[in-house]
Amino acid sequence: MRVVVNGTPTELREGALVTDAVAALRPDNEGRGIAVAVNGAVIPKSEWARVELAPEDSVEVLTAVAGG
């Protein structure tokens, strides 16, 4: 199925979860310092493994950056 992750069409398996979208974008990250929104709604990290994506969902994966 195709979803849009950070503006880029991305193929994921049917029944993919938010965790799958994060892994597709950041395979080396365990979710630390990341926030996720699906269709504009923020998804708490505790729900990533339970929220199933639908075709054409818009997923935004944001990474916190420290600086000054």
pLDDT number for residue 66: 73
pLDDT tens readout for residues 27-61: 776 667 899 999 999 999 999 999 999 999 999 99
Q: What is the CATH superfamily name and number for domain 2-63?
A: Beta-grasp domain (3.10.20.30)
Tell me the one-letter amino acid at 47. E
Is the distance from CB of 55 to CB of 3 less than 8 angstroms? yes
What's the pTM? 0.87
Rg of the Cα atoms in the chain: 11
Q: Is the pLDDT of residue 26 over 70?
A: yes
* Cα 16-21-24 angle, rounded to 5 deg: 115
Q: Is the pLDDT of residue 67 over 80?
A: no
